[in-house]
Amino acid sequence: MVFSWFIRFLIVMLLVRLVWKFLGGVVEGAARRSEVSPVKGVPLVRDPVCGTYIDQARALTLRRKGEMHYFCSERCRTAFQQDSRARARGH
């Protein structure tokens, strides 16, 4: 009978979907647990001195020529200021 074959097919498909969903949840959970990288949705900015990506809310800022620069530490900010000053003197 074609009808019973169809029902069996539907049940198998349903089971496969359930197993797939379960496996997907397990994999996703494991991935989430092992993830150490920053939380999604947090705007990251790049420190131009050392190249580190920092949380914009925690970064030190420096406004220069209307442009905002972000730094991971006071040391990087000072280095950037000194570097741009040295470049300005060179021109």
Which spans of this chain sit near Zn ion (rule: CB under 5 A)? 47, 49-50, 52, 72, 76
Quick one: 18 or 76, whose CB is closer to Zn ion?
A: 76
Minimum separation from the CB atom of position 59 to Zn ion (A): 9
Minimum separation from the CB atom of position 62 to Zn ion (A): 12
**CB 47, CB 29: distance < 8 Å:** no
Quick one: 45 or 49, whose CB is closer to Zn ion?
A: 49
Beta strands in 1-91 (DSSP E): 44-46, 53-55, 60-64, 67-71
CA distance 46 to 51: 6
Quick one: 17 or 61, whose CB is closer to Zn ion?
A: 61
Minimum separation from the CB atom of position 36 to Zn ion (A): 19
- DSSP label of 39: P
Minimum separation from the CB atom of position 66 to Zn ion (A): 22
CA distance 76 to 48: 8
